[in-house]
Amino acid sequence: MEIRTLGAADLPACSDLAESRSWPREPPKWRLLHEVGQVFGVDAPDGGLAACAAVVPFGTVASISMVLVARRFERRGLGRAITAQALAAAGDRAVWLHASASGRPLYESMGFVADGGCRGHVGTFADDGGPGAAPGSLSSVVPLDLRAQGVGRRPLLERLGTPYVADGGFAFGVDIGHVTVIGPVVAESEDAAKAVVRGVARSVPGEVRVDPDYRFPSFTTWLRDRGLVPGVSAPRLILGGRPLPGDASLRFAPFTRALG
């Protein structure tokens, strides 16, 4: 089965494959991955996709995500092959990903090493009345994101809409098809992180999602106290254990596990 680069017309098939593996349908996220990175796929002989994966490079780093194989094509080496394709596209960058329990053994066999992680929290935000953030300008958040990530990510930030900005922090609120993701949460303090979450949550209807990093247990407890329910944990793995650039103390939560 040949691996090919997918185009915009192929993205509905990616959602179909995700749904078949009990992942949510997230067309906006697939579209974003296609716009800022590359999405690879393997066509199934009987229709649809047998496998897919995405890679997004920014400067000296790259993320791999959405590695999926249709159940009827499991144990044929497709997961390894399409991950290898994404690694080839990443070149000599430091490559990271968030692993599922089922995918982690494969990634570790390919040289990935555990380095922290995050855990998704979803629910209706119960406002505590604390200070919130207000909409701000993209130009005001780019320098702080650069400090946090160590690489320029303006092409991604430009696609996330209007940031909510507090003194020393920012976050975006993005509807990915079934929930509004609050992230990335980048902040110089926990108070600033809470303020930007409040600002976004107050501006959107329905449920929100935040994926707090393991490094911030107090912030995570606050999210749970606000009604967000923890889901499956997602360890972060880095190829070869290479250090990632940027200031990790500012990275309270990624935008999504796919993009950081």
User: 141 to each of 162, 176, 196, how far by Cα in Å?
Assistant: 10, 21, 12
pTM recorded for the entire structure: 0.95
Counts for the chain of helices (H) and strands (E), in that order = 8, 15
Cβ burial, residue 181 (10 Å; 0-12/13-18/19+): buried
Check for a shared fold between 3-92 and 120-232+243-253. Answer: yes
Q: At 210, give phi and psi (nearest 5°).
A: -130, 140
Looking at domain 120-232+243-253, its CATH class is alpha beta
- Here the tokens at position 116 are 């922290």
Bridge partners (DSSP) listed for residue 237: 97, 114
CA gap 73, 121 in Å, rounded? 31
So what's the pLDDT on residue 260?
86
Q: At 113, give phi and psi (nearest 5°).
A: -125, 135
Which of 22, 90, 94 minimizes the C-alpha distance to 53?
A: 90
- Here the tokens at position 103 are 């995918």
Cβ burial, residue 242 (10 Å; 0-12/13-18/19+): middle
CA gap 182, 151 in Å, rounded? 21
For the chain, how long is the longest CA-to-CA vector?
55
Enumerate residue ranges in the chain where pLDDT < 50.
none
Fold of 3-92: Aminopeptidase (3.40.630)
User: Domain ranges in the chain?
Assistant: 3-92, 120-232+243-253
Which of 72, 65, 129, 132 minimizes the C-alpha distance to 99?
A: 65
Q: At 142, give phi and psi (nearest 5°).
A: -60, -45
Non-local (6+) Cβ contacts of 73 within 8 A are 42, 44, 50, 51
Q: At 157, give phi and psi (nearest 5°).
A: -60, -35
- Here the tokens at position 2 are 């040949």
So what's the pLDDT on residue 12?
97
